């Protein structure tokens, strides 16, 4: 039986879903994998941080953060009156790096907001965690495209793991598939729909909604941010392409190097014309190996019923891999939620420690 102390940096939708999943799987982790755990630290962007070497009460932390969020959104509490996780802490911290430095943990789950341009401060969080002997697990795409080699080499040096299954298609086993289940398989290229938000927007536009109304709907259900530009302008899709190319094809690229066009130019008229022609608009991600380089692209494309992408509606995602040994291999994820992302984090934890 092995006991692990866990630190959760980021306690938004995904972080809280992970906390609930850990609770739900607690007996299974112990019975099937010989793993027990305590959460010794939780840090958030809005609600402070909590550290207790003896272990935090997850139920209390969830209740505190979610009751405060509900109060804020229903305007019952002014932000200045918000409660914080520091109410249940025994060790105060000054910032996120101080949290990583002070939290006694064997595993860091890093779920801070993504920075498409530099990957910071998530890179520093993960770097510090590895230096302190923690396994580093993240759902943040930034460090994968901006510091993959650096963090992987540091993890190897420290005898720890740097895992990131949840960065592309939530909890679908993409990176682990190539890492363990497909030895000696060379990835020649891929094609797919990797951004759930834009696919849902285009689906709603096919049903007669305007672009603006469809965007507002995705915001209302928490799929799109208040500023939807990362999705509708293709940045989220581009960084996912960059992550897949960097890790699975061994050619480091950044999202800035991916040819990128978003969906702002897809009007209601173009949607109607496509439907009349029996086709659909999709924001398609592609990459193709060309010798020692790769060409990569994110752009709206018209797809016909003959394409596997045609039937992918709503927030469902799909990726088709072209390999040198199996031909085409597809993975599809239907209507993911934060719980799917949380599962990817949990799977990384189990794979890192066993």
Kindly report, residue by residue over 154-166, the tens digit of the pLDDT: 999 999 999 999 9
Token pair 């094809």 is found at 249
CATH says 2-171+338-353 is which class?
A: alpha beta
Contacts of 106 (CB under 8 A, 6+ apart): 4, 5, 6, 133, 134, 135, 353
* Residue pLDDT, tens place only, 268-312: 999 999 999 999 999 999 999 998 899 999 999 999 999 999 999
Tell me the fold of 183-333: Dihydrodipicolinate Reductase; domain 2 (3.30.360)
Q: Where are the domain boundaries for CATH 3.40.50.720 in the chain? A: 2-171+338-353
Domain with CATH 3.30.360.10 in the chain: 183-333
Distance CA 8, CA 107 (A): 9
Q: What is the reported pLDDT for 35? A: 98
> Mutual orientation of helices 122-131 and 141-158 as an angle, nearest 10°?
10
Count other Cβ atoms within 10 Å, centred on residue 22: 20
**pLDDT, tens digit only, all 354 positions of the chain:** 899 999 999 999 999 999 999 999 999 999 999 999 999 999 998 888 999 999 999 999 999 988 865 544 444 444 443 455 655 555 678 899 999 999 999 999 999 999 989 999 999 999 999 999 999 999 999 999 999 999 999 999 999 999 999 999 998 999 999 999 999 999 999 999 999 999 999 999 999 999 999 999 999 988 888 899 999 999 999 999 999 999 999 999 999 999 999 999 999 999 999 999 999 999 999 999 998 899 999 999 999 999 999 999 999 999 999 999 998 999 999 989 999 999 999 999 999 998
Q: What is the pLDDT of residues 44-67, one digit of tens each?
A: 988 889 999 999 999 999 999 888
What is the DSSP secondary structure assignment for residue 24, as one 8-state letter?
H
3-class SS of residue 271: helix
């Amino acid at each position: 039986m092995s006991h692990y102390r866990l630190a959760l940096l980021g306690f938004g939708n995904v972080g809280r879903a992970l906390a609930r999943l850990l609770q739900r799987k607690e007996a299974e982790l112990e019975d099937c994998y010989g793993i027990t755990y305590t959460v010794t630290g939780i840090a958030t962007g809005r609600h402070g941080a909590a550290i207790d070497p003896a272990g935090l009460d997850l139920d209390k932390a969830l209740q505190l953060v979610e009751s405060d969020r509900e109060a804020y959104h229903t305007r019952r509490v002014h932000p200045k009156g918000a409660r914080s996780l520091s109410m249940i802490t025994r060790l105060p911290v000054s910032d996120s790096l101080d949290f990583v430095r002070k939290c006694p943990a064997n595993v860091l789950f890093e779920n801070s907001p993504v920075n498409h341009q530099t990957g910071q401060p998530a890179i520093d969080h993960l770097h510090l965690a590895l230096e302190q002997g923690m396994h580093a697990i993240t759902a943040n795409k930034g460090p994968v495209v901006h510091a993959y080699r650096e963090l992987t080499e540091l993890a190897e040096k420290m005898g720890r793991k740097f895992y990131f299954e949840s960065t592309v298609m939530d909890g679908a086993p993409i990176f682990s598939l190539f890492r363990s289940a497909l030895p000696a398989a060379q990835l020649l290229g891929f094609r797919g729909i990797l951004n759930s938000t834009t696919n849902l927007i285009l689906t709603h536009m096919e049903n007669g909604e305007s672009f603006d109304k469809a965007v507002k709907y995705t915001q209302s259900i928490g799929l799109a941010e208040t500023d939807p530009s990362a999705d509708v302008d293709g940045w989220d899709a581009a960084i996912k392409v960059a992550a897949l190319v960097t890790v699975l094809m061994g050619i480091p690229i950044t999202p800035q190097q991916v040819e990128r066009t978003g969906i702002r130019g897809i009007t209601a008229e173009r949607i109607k014309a496509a439907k009349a022609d029996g086709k659909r608009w999709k924001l398609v991600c592609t990459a193709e190996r060309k010798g020692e380089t790769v060409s990569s692209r994110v752009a709206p494309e018209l797809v016909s019923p003959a394409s596997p992408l045609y039937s992918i509606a709503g927030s469902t995602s799909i990726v088709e891999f072209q390999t040198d040994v199996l031909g085409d291999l597809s993975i599809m994820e239907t209507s993911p939620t934060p719980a799917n992302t949380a599962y990817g984090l949990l799977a990384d934890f189990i794979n890192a420690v066993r």
